[in-house]
Amino acid sequence: MKRRAILAFMLDRPGVLNKVSMLIRKKMYNVDTLTVCSSRVPGISRMTITLQEDDIAKVTQVIKQLEKFTEVISAKELDTQKSYWREAAIVKLEVDREHLTAFNGRYNFEILEKKGKDVQIVQIAGSTVQIDTFLDEVGRENIIEIARTGVAAMEK
């Protein structure tokens, strides 16, 4: 399945997020991430939805239905080649600090806190693939807890 990102700008009103999520639920899509923030225009929110879908017609249908909502100003799919997709994660790991030094320079991470002898809390930022690769290399069996932001995407 291909990962798709839909960028929508909408009026910042109560219930809009619920309307959008109900539309996606009705279409039986599983949302990978949903990120909402204010835009540079007061009263307008920016929403990035990522989901897995190979059929472009289905994605186009969702976008057209989103645009029918009176609160939605615009909606479109972001091309992976013409946009940046980034996220961040905070990860509590059971590894010693020396194990993490092997990853310095290869990944954009920072040690936030050391708890006890071998528990580290790190913050990592980058593409979803970079974060997933870091987690695989550090060892998923060493992960105690993880919190991810979801994808923020922007056209180049």
Instruction: Give the tens place of pLDDT for each residue, 82-133.
Output: 999 999 999 999 998 888 888 988 999 999 999 988 999 999 999 999 999 9
Domains of the chain (ranges, CATH numbers): 3-78 (3.30.70.260), 84-155 (3.30.70.1150)
* Whole-angstrom distance, CA of residue 127 vs CA of residue 9: 22
pTM for the full model?
Answer: 0.84
The tens digit of pLDDT for each residue in 29-54 reads: 778 899 999 999 999 999 999 988 88
Residue 64 sits at the vertex; the CA angle it makes with 63 and 65, to the nearest 5 degrees, is: 90
Residue in 86, 94, 77, 107 with CA at minimum distance from that of residue 139: 94
